[in-house]
């Protein structure tokens, strides 16, 4: 993205308060790898701060910059200068998938060399600067056998909060749900036996999953979290950009030059549970916590619709619920003994 495009985007968002009336904002930089362009990001953030103040915009007192990085360049001097300058209003999420074996299954250089060693050396600095930060872990079929040991490994590194989820794509094989449940039960036992639950969290375990849905809300914020590509095109979220779709053409809802096309955006604002789910999903007794991705829904639908929920995660969610029930029941017995 050029600075000229970024400036146009910032101007459009700050000048159209009737369209963007939220009292706070997160300016999120994702890629690719954002830290490759830290000088550009620094320039953009400087401009954002100036424009928010010039416009006397409420965001000037309530904003955050957010960066999702693979962590390889984290200790780079330019990156560290940016962090020092913006730390008060900055969040940085670092992607480390777990053990070296699990991480290096997917996160490799063009030479196919694994990236774990180059990232893990930056973890102490990252945690010193953001002690409550969470890493982002993604699980697919091939790395299911490493789930438990990977979460425990991340906690051993000092990462207290592990945000982890399975992929939304149609990537699961027969028996994966059983293996997933076994891994989560192993992890649950370790959390309890080692008393990790007193200071650590893993997003696979929650008190709010495994119940009937009592609301009709959409799962994600597609249509309410604007994404912008390098050319200044707007999308309902980053999962509708060209690099994120494998089967369908991207859906743009405008651009920073002509503005948002409300007619293109309106269908996304009408999305809810019932408008895109089958009766089986709506009435499922363990529906709470069952996630879906609007972009994956669109990508896997047989037509161009966004109102067709992909159910690739059904068996994996039910396996998670069973393991979560095991964890909660065992933990409750210990805490209330």
Q: Which residues are registered as beta bridge partners of 202?
A: 162
Q: In what order do the strands lie in the sheet with 63-69?
A: 25-29, 63-69, 90-94
State the DSSP code for 108. B
Residues 6+ apart with CB under 8 A from 94: 69, 70, 71, 74, 119, 122, 123, 126, 133, 135, 136
Any idea which residue has 């370790």 for tokens? 190
User: Which pair of structure tokens corresponds to residue 291?
Assistant: 């996630």
Burial class (CB in 10 A: 0-12, 13-18, 19+), 38: buried
- Tell me the pLDDT tens digit for each residue of 23-41: 999 999 998 899 999 999 9
For residues 149 and 165, give the distance between their C-alpha atoms in angstroms, rounded to a whole number: 15
Q: Which CATH superfamily is domain 3-202 in?
A: Aldolase class I (3.20.20.70)
For residues 30 and 225, give the distance between their C-alpha atoms in angstroms, rounded to a whole number: 13
Rg (CA), the chain: 21
- Tell me the pLDDT tens digit for each residue of 102-135: 999 999 999 999 999 999 999 999 999 999 999 9
Give pLDDT, residue 337. Answer: 76
The pTM (predicted TM-score) of the whole model is 0.92
What does the DSSP assignment read for 279-327?
Answer: HHHHT-TT-TT----HHHHHHHSSSS-S-----TTHHHHHHHHHHHHHH
What residues does CATH 3.20.20.70 cover in the chain?
3-202
Give pLDDT, residue 11. Answer: 98
Low-confidence ranges of the chain (pLDDT < 50): none
Residues 6+ apart with CB under 8 A from 110: none
Torsion from C-alpha of 66, 67, 68, 72, nearest 10 degrees: -150
Give pLDDT, residue 193. Answer: 97
Torsion from C-alpha of 96, 99, 103, 104, nearest 10 degrees: 140
What does the DSSP assignment read for 121-165?
Answer: TTHHHHHHH-TT-EEEEEE-GGGGGGHHHHHHHHHHTT--EEEEE
Query: Are 190 and 148 contacting, i.e. CB atoms less than 8 angstroms apart?
Result: yes
Burial class (CB in 10 A: 0-12, 13-18, 19+), 213: buried
Give pLDDT, residue 224. Answer: 92
What does the DSSP assignment read for 71-95?
Answer: STTTT-HHHHHHHHHHGGGEEEEE-
């Amino acid at each position: 993205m050029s600075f000229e495009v970024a400036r146009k985007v910032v101007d459009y968002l700050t000048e159209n308060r009737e369209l963007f009336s939220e009292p706070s904002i997160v300016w999120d930089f994702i890629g690719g790898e954002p830290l490759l362009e830290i000088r550009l990001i620094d320039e953009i953030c400087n401009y954002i701060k100036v424009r928010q103040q010039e416009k006397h915009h409420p965001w000037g007192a309530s904003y955050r910059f957010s960066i999702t990085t693979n962590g390889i360049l984290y200790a780079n001097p330019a990156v560290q200068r940016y962090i020092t300058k913006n730390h008060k209003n900055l969040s940085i999420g670092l992607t480390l998938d777990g053990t070296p074996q699990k991480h290096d299954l997917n996160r490799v250089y063009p030479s196919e060399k694994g990236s774990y060693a180059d990232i893990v050396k930056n973890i102490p600095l990252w945690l010193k600067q953001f002690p409550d930060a969470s890493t982002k872990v993604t699980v697919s079929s091939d790395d299911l056998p490493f789930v438990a040991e990977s979460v425990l490994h991340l906690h051993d590194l000092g990462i207290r909060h592990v945000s982890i989820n399975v992929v939304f794509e149609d990537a699961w094989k027969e028996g994966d749900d059983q293996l997933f449940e076994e891994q989560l039960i192993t992890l649950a036992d370790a959390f309890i036996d080692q008393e990790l639950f007193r200071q650590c969290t893993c997003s696979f375990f929650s008190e709010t999953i495994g119940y009937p849905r009592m609301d009709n809300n959409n799962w994600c914020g597609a249509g309410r979290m604007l994404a912008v590509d390098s050319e200044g095109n707007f999308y309902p979220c980053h999962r509708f950009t060209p690099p994120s779709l494998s089967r369908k053409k991207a859906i743009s809802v405008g651009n920073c030059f002509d503005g948002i096309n409300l007619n293109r955006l309106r269908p996304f604002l009408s999305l809810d549970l019932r408008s895109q789910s089958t009766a089986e999903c709506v009435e499922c007794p363990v529906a709470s916590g069952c996630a879906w991705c609007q972009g994956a829904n669109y990508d896997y639908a047989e037509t161009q619709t966004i109102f067709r929920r992909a159910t690739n995660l059904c068996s994996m969610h039910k396996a998670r619920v069973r393991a979560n029930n095991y964890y909660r029941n065992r933990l409750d017995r210990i805490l209330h003994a």
